[in-house]
Every structure is written in C-alpha cells, then in structure tokens.
Structure 1
Amino acid sequence: MITLHHCPQTRSMRTLWLLHELDVPFHVQVHPFDKSLRAPEFLSLSPAGRVPALEIEGERMFETGAITQYLCERFSPDRMGRSVASPDRMAWLVWVHFAETVSQHAAALTQQHVVLYDDAMRSPTIMKLEAARLGKCYDAIEARLSTPVENRDYLLTSGFSAADISVGQAIYMARHFRGLDQHPELAQWYTRITERPAFQASLPAPEARLYDQDFYAAWEE
C-alpha cells in the first residue's frame, strides 16, 4: 500500500497528481501546513519536516524528485517516466528536477506573502528578486516549448510525462506571484496539462487552500 503525506497546495501536490496519473491504489494522509510537521512522529518520515513523504511497503521516502523517479521507474517507466534507453531520458531528468528550481522561488515568495504575518517581517527586495527569478524560469520553459519540432505540445518530444507534472505543479504555485501573460507558449502548455482529470483530482477543496488569494501583487513599502 502507498500512503502519501500531503499538505494542500505544496510540493506534495506534485506527487498526488502523479499518483492519480499512474492509477495505482494509494491513501492520502493530509497534514496542516503548520508546526505539526516538526513533530517527532512526522520527522521520522521526513527529517526536514517537509512534504511530500511517502510510505510504500514498509519503506519511507522523502524529496519530491526522488519520489517521482522511483514511482515512474516502478509503475510507468515508459509512459510517465522515460527508461534509460529512451532518447528523451536526459531531457526527462532535466525537467523533472528543474521543477525544484521553480519551486524554491515560489516557496520563498509563499513565505514572504503568506507565512509571515507582519508587514515588518517582509522584504520588498526579496519579493522583487524572487519574482524576477521566476521570470527567468518562465523564459527557460518558454524557450523549450518554442523549439521548432513536430508536435511540441509537451516538454518532451515523445509526449506527456512526469516532467510536465513536475514543472506544471511548480508553475501552479508560481502563478500566485507572477503571471504567464508574457509567456504565451508556457500559458498554452499550462492550460493543456491542467485540463487533465488527474490534475483536477489533485486540487484542494476551497476550505483547504494554503493561498487565500489567486494572485499576490508585489508588496510595496
């Protein structure tokens, strides 16, 4: 049995989306996004007190990229994953792990806009820097999707994969802080992948949302 430890609208949504795409039996244990993640019981699952954490057949995993690789290699090496022999294997690895580059900037902005409770604790400089860094990430994805190859609907030439899930979920978070209006290929790709039933199944109920706004404008002093 697979158990996913999950906080809505965090990186663990990436694993939840993937599990729905894999169509394997799993259970979701939802946790609040608070200090309970630092409790000894949870730290035994994820020593940094972060989600996702995955329990599978008596073993425990943490780190989103590692979980994605393991699940794909075990359950879907040539559909959601790309096997070592695949021409797209290198690109698959690059984009699966590039998702974390996007997520780290979105996480910094989440801390500034959502987690910190007092305006005096927030830094306009950090907000502007991290928003600009998201723009650079968007540029990289836009360039990839603009590559003139046949059927460039997804990040890989060979079609939809966990690379799209990983980066797509990171963009889901990042869009709360930087829009996609200046990146048309990225915007079309994001619309395409988020129409998938597995993505829709991974969305939180309104009362479970971490973000209480759809968009957080840059904070001004």
Structure 2
Amino acid sequence: MIKLHHLNQSRSKRIIWLLEELGLSYEMVPYQRDAVTFLAPPELKSVHPLGKSPVLEDGDLVLTESGAITEYLIETYGEGRLAPQRGTPEYAAYVQWIHFAESSAMLPMLLKMFLEKDGCETNFLAGYADKEMMSILSYLEQSLAGKKYLVAEQLSGADIMMSFMIEILYQKGVLPSFPNLARYEKQLLSHESYVRSNEIESGKR
C-alpha cells in the first residue's frame, strides 16, 4: 500500500492530485502546521530526517521531493499516462517544466512569502523578489499562449507540479493580470481529480 505523509497547505497537495488522477489506492497520513509558526510538526522527522512533506512510502521505498515523487509514480504506475514518450522533444520539455516548478519558479515566490510574513524592510531582497517574480509570470504567460497545458496539449505531471504555484497566484489575486494563466487555472480545475484533491486536503472528504 502506498502511504503519503501529507502536511496541510504544502506542496504535498500535488501528490494527492497525482494519486487521485492515477486512480491508485493509498493511505494518507495527515500532519498540521503549527498555528503560530506555520512550521511542520516535529512528528514528521520520525518519517524523514528533514521533517518535510511530502514523503511517499511504497513498500520499502521512502521518497521525498515532490518532483521526484511525481516522476516515480508516473513511471511506475502511469502506464503511459501523464508523460510524453521518452526520447521525444515533448518529453524533454516535460522534464524541464517539472524541474522549473521547484526551482526557477519557486524561489522568488518563497522569497515574497517569507518577506511578507516577516514584515521587514530590505535593501535588496524585496526588489529582487518582485523583479524575478514578474519575470517568471511573464515567461509562464507567454509559454501558455494558445495552449491548454504545458506539454503536448494534454495533462501531464508538469501541470500537476505547476498547480501549487497557480493556486497561490489565484489566492493572491494575481491571475486577472495574466489572462493565459487565468485560463490555465480554470483548465486545471476542469479535472475532477484536482477538485477532489482540494476536498481531501481541506478535510471535506
């Protein structure tokens, strides 16, 4: 049985969607953030030394990092779904977007979130984060022009990885300024498994 150690309001939610999309049987072990610090509880360190989520258990395998978990689940259980064929240009683009979601895209967003939470004045970081965030958003907006999905006009693990960022942008009211991103957010919501993952994460299921 697959077991997902899931922290609320975290990138682990992508893995819930992926498991639901693949129709896999799994057990979800929920953890709640500290109401004051917003940090993960210490219990997660008994699962993995970093104490972060997601952590996936599949038999003897214990795997962290949502990108790695996404690639593993699709390659192991996807049966040709949610990823282009290996060796094609589409597959190379798919891998690029999976890594983009946790590297180039995530750093400026995290910087902005941390700066907002801290409330401090900075000499450099705030301006840098704003500039980098606008660059990322402009790149995504351009990349999604005339497209429903990031790769090969079909849902893939790349879209599932990107969903966490899109959801935060929606919550912050950013999407109306980027029509392609706004349309993309609605496209992701057209998948029942994505809506279901939101309900599972919020405890409505």
Short-chain TM bin: 0.7 to 0.9
Structure 1 residues 194 and 133: CA distance shift in structure 2, 3 A: farther
Displacement of 1:128 = 4.8
Report the counterpart of residue 99 of structure 1 in structure 2: 101
Displacement of 1:51 = 0.9
Secondary structure at the aligned position of 2:148 is classed as coil
Displacement of 1:56 = 0.8
**TM-score, normalization by structure 1:** 0.78
Deviation track 1:153-178 (CA, whole Å, cap 9, x = no partner) reads: 11112411111111122221244446
Report the counterpart of residue 145 of structure 1 in structure 2: 144
Amino acid corresponding to residue 154 of structure 2 in structure 1:
G
Displacement of 1:112 = 3.4
Gaps of 5+ in 1: 208-221
Segment drifting more, 105-114 vs 166-175: 105-114
Aligned-residue CA RMSD (Å): 2.5
Q: Is the 8 A contact 2:143 2:150 kept in 1?
A: yes
Please point out which of 179, 191, 198 is paired with 2:193. 198
Partner Cα separation in structure 1 for residue 91 and residue 98 of structure 2: 11
Partner Cα separation in structure 1 for residue 82 and residue 116 of structure 2: 34
Displacement of 1:71 = 0.6
Displacement of 1:133 = 2.2
Partner Cα separation in structure 1 for residue 78 and residue 95 of structure 2: 15
| Percent identity of paired positions between Structure 1 and Structure 2 | 26
Please point out which of 52, 55, 79 is paired with 1:53. 55
Structure 1 residues 43 and 136: CA distance shift in structure 2, 3 A: same
**TM-score, normalization by structure 2:** 0.83
Amino acid corresponding to residue 76 of structure 2 in structure 1:
R
Displacement of 1:64 = 1.1
Segment drifting more, 14-23 vs 102-111: 102-111
Report the counterpart of residue 73 of structure 2 in structure 1: 71
Secondary structure at the aligned position of 2:164 is classed as helix
Structure 1 residues 174 and 45: CA distance shift in structure 2, 3 A: farther
Structure 1 residues 183 and 199: CA distance shift in structure 2, 3 A: same
Residues paired across the two proteins, number: 197
Deviation track 1:85-105 (CA, whole Å, cap 9, x = no partner) reads: 344100000111111132333
Segment drifting more, 18-27 vs 75-84: 75-84
Report the counterpart of residue 114 of structure 2 in structure 1: 111
Secondary structure at the aligned position of 1:65 is classed as helix
Partner Cα separation in structure 2 for residue 178 and residue 169 of structure 1: 15
Displacement of 1:28 = 1.0
Partner Cα separation in structure 2 for residue 123 and residue 171 of structure 1: 27
Partner Cα separation in structure 1 for residue 166 and residue 121 of structure 2: 23
Partner Cα separation in structure 2 for residue 185 and residue 179 of structure 1: 12
